[in-house]
Chain A
Amino acid sequence: MEQDVKVTIIDREGVSHTIEAPTDMAMNLMEIVRLYELAPEGTIGICGGMAMCASCQCYVLSDTELPEMQEDEDAMLAEAFYVKNNSRLGCQIQMTPEMEGLKVELAPES
């Protein structure tokens, strides 16, 4: 089994959670949030992770090197609300060993 990574997620109420995320389950950050129930059901992952709803938008606070943004993620963020320079879609960030120490804050629900 591959190792877990520690990631920190600040939920929409401002509470910080540092959790162990598995790297061997093909999970993305949006799914980790749902796994740990850090956002109410039905408020995150609406499109199932197809970069088509932006319900998983988060602000990246650490300088972790993230996978490069693909065209569809970039286009979706262009249509989302509350977007900042450090916005990413959680469903497009796969949990790999490189994500150790990642820190994000969930964007408001819209």
Chain B
Amino acid sequence: MIKTDILIIGAGPTGLFAVFEAGLLKLKCHLIDALPQPGGQCSELYPKKPIYDIPGFPEILADDLTKNLLEQCKQFEPGFTLGERADTLEKQEDGTFIVTTNKGTKHHAPIVAIAGGLGSFEPRKPLIHNLVSFEDKGVEYIIKEPEFYRDKKVVIAGGGDSALDWSIYLSNIASEVTLIHRRNEFRGALDSVDKVQELKDAGKINLITPAEVVGLVGHHELKAVVVSQSAHINKEYEVECDHFIPLFGLSPKLGPLGNWGLEIEKNAIKVNNALDYQTNIPGVFAIGDVNTYPGKLKLILCGFHEATLMCQAAYQIINPGKRYVLKYTTVSGVDGFDGSRKEAPKAVVKKIE
């Protein structure tokens, strides 16, 4: 059982900044995210694109914002459960919560902060009739551990960056990589496209285009995929493989959060914005894109503000009756849980003669 002060669901910009604000109050955080990496929409949807409305940054790449947020909260040593979806919330008799993921990992905390954005990122599954029955029996939608594919025959489907990048990466690990796409054209960074061309010419990637996987073959485990290729005449044939990885992007789904007994409006969680962004369940907060209140704006800077106020309220719940006075980081410095200390250099007092 993972224990922490504030359990944050969602490691997007809002969740990451909450770690820092909580740390200033000496509260420890643990984050759960369905994605294998932190950053939320910034890392999944537009990592290489610039953002122009982060206060103090005239321009910053979404990836760099994520990197900076991780660096900023590093000394507060957040824990991460990545690649798992928070599925259930159980209130204990003492008012604390246990959150369990789809992989069975349990987390225990007095405060739960939902920073779930538009929902947990779930793979978009191609419409192949027997796809679901092969899940975890040879079909995977997210690559977590590339070594898993060592010396295996892998078929990847898709035409975007992740299909290209993983084909390149796995061509050195798997015994065979086949890339299948509906078009001859790919939609990705130029150097990835060139690299795949190179690997194809070198015989290290089998490219099948324009084609589509239309069925899966196997008994209990995947044995082959059925490919329909439409070059001049349509032909259908099987390609033997151990793994089939359809990479058609991820799309956010509110999913299990919708069944936690929270008040939902327009696919978002209603909160008390006059006070502290608490939900209808005391001790459970919702911050960032995932919440709604009159006048709500789904912007990163609004998530930062909400995270800050949430931490103050969490402090009061965890330390009832304890007085707190706001301190400026410039004046009091930042003491990390790792023993590090950041502080402003002292002014020198010296006589001028």
Contacts and interface: CB of A to CB of B under 8 A. Distances in A.
B79 interface: no
Interface residues of B, number: 25
A28 interface: no
Interface centre among B49, B182, B187 (most CB of A within 10 A): B187
* Interface of chain B, main secondary structure: loop
B45 A47 contact: yes
Contact of A75 (B126, B159, B252): B159
B248 interface: yes
Contacts of B119: 42
B118 A78 contact: no
Interface residues of A, number: 20
B266 interface: yes
A67 interface: no
B158 A79 contact: yes
Interface string B264-297: 0011100000000000000000000000000000
B252 A79 contact: no
B187 A76 contact: yes
Interface in B145-192: 158-160, 181-183, 185-187
Contacts, number: 58
Nearest to B248: A79
A42 B236 CA distance: 37
Interface in A53-110: 53, 55, 72, 75-76, 78-79, 81-82, 110
B237 interface: no
Contact of B268 (A41, A81, A82): A41
Given A41-B268, A42-B267, A75-B185, A110 B251 contact: yes
Given A81-B127, A110-B124, 19 more contacts: A40-B266, A40-B267, A41-B266, A41-B267, A42-B118, A42-B252, A42-B268, A46-B45, A47-B45, A72-B187, A75-B159, A75-B183, A75-B185, A75-B187, A76-B187, A78-B182, A79-B181, A79-B182, A81-B124
Interface of A: 37, 40-43, 46-48, 50, 52-53, 55, 72, 75-76, 78-79, 81-82, 110
